[in-house]
Amino acid sequence: MKLIDITNSHLKLVKEQLANTDAFFVKVYSLGQTTVIYEDAATHKDVLIINRKRKVKQTEIDFVVHRLLHTTSEDLDIIHADGFVEISLAVKKTKL
């Protein structure tokens, strides 16, 4: 599997997400027929995995979590729905 950065093809989506959410970083990737939207905010990181033709596979979820979030599934809130999966990771603040 390979994530291909297609952010430049989705500039309207990126601008809307940056304007209407607390995200300060948005990237859009292609994973074959599956689209992955990654958002980074001060308190959380969110990933939305979308496939309009079939159910998102567990192998796709595991690959995206490993590549983008660099964590295990124990730390994540995962919502499965028809055609998409939403993954959230709370960012822990560190004291200086």
Give the CATH number, domain containing residue 11. Answer: 3.40.1720.10
- Say if 95 falls within a structural domain: no
Q: Is 66 helix (H, G, I), strand (E, B) or coil?
A: helix
Whether 25 is covered by a domain: the verdict is: yes
pLDDT score, position 29: 95
User: What whole-number distance in Å separates Cα of residue 11 and Cα of residue 63?
Assistant: 25
Does a structural domain hold residue 96? no
On the question of pLDDT at 82 being above 90, the answer is no
Q: Which domain holds residue 53?
A: 4-90
Burial class from Cβ neighbours inside 10 Å (0-12, 13-18, 19+) for residue 5 reads exposed
pLDDT at residue number 37: 95
| pLDDT of 73 strictly over 60 | yes
Three-state secondary structure of 27-58: EEEEECCEEEEEEEECCEEEEEEECCCCCCCH
Tens of pLDDT, residues 11-65: 898 888 888 888 889 999 999 899 999 999 988 899 999 999 999 999 999 999 9
User: What is this structure's pTM?
Assistant: 0.87
What is the rounded end-to-end Cα distance, in angstroms, of the chain?
38
Residue scoring higher pLDDT (90 or 73): 90
| Burial class (CB within 10 angstroms; exposed 0-12, middle 13-18, buried 19+) of 87 | buried
